[in-house]
Amino acid sequence: MDSLKIHQVDASNWREIIVLQVAEGQRKFIEKNEISILESIYDRKHKWQCYGLFQGTTAVGFVMIGAENNEERYIWLDRFMIDCRYQGMGLGAAFLEKMKEFIASNFEIDEIVLSVTKDNPKAKVFYERHGFVNTGLVDPEFDEEIFAYKLDGSSG
């Protein structure tokens, strides 16, 4: 899938990104992309960066990364989504692997963390299938389970 590209959300593509939506039954699990983009602008403490996920020139997904912890060497992968029109085609798996490579190449960290709503078993299975491990920790702000992925070569 060489046609898969990650582009920072900017003035040239934000309109394509905000129209992307997950399937109806998934909407309770994730914020809308426009909320994430606004958060990246106004929540400067966490230095969120928003990226559009493109297949060729078509926007098919979105992800937000940030809240990097330099001391503990981790970063959050957040709001990862594939538009409902492109789900079931293997794009989620392909882009998750691409995001792991992207993060490893662009940030000096050992671990990628994310959180999953407790009542979203499909997401838990998806992330576990891709090497994320349930840490047993819960994000107190959103009452979500925290999963972590250790990058190759990182210490235990």
Residue-wise pLDDT for 13-49, tens only, equals 999 999 999 999 888 898 999 999 999 999 889 999 9
Half-sphere exposure of residue 69, counting CA atoms within 13 Å on the CB side? Answer: 10
Element (H, E) at 103: helix 91-106
Q: What is the pLDDT of residue 114?
A: 96
Q: How far, in Å, CA of 78 to CA of 97, rounded? A: 14
Q: What is the pLDDT of residue 132?
A: 97
Give 126's contacts (C-beta < 8 A, 6+ positions apart): 92, 93, 96
Q: Which fold has domain 4-150?
A: Aminopeptidase (3.40.630)
pLDDT above 90 covers a percentage of the chain that reads 84
Q: What is the pLDDT of residue 156?
A: 42
Phi, psi of 155 (to 5 degrees): -80, 150
Q: How confident is the model at residue 140 (pLDDT cuts 50, 70, 90)?
A: confident
Q: What is the pLDDT of residue 78?
A: 94
Average pLDDT over residues 75-101: 95
Instruction: Enumerate the β-bridge partners of residue 106.
Output: none
Q: How confident is the model at residue 155 (pLDDT cuts 50, 70, 90)?
A: very low
Q: Could you tell me the two tokens for 58?
A: 């078509």
Give 5's contacts (C-beta < 8 A, 6+ positions apart): 53, 54, 55, 56
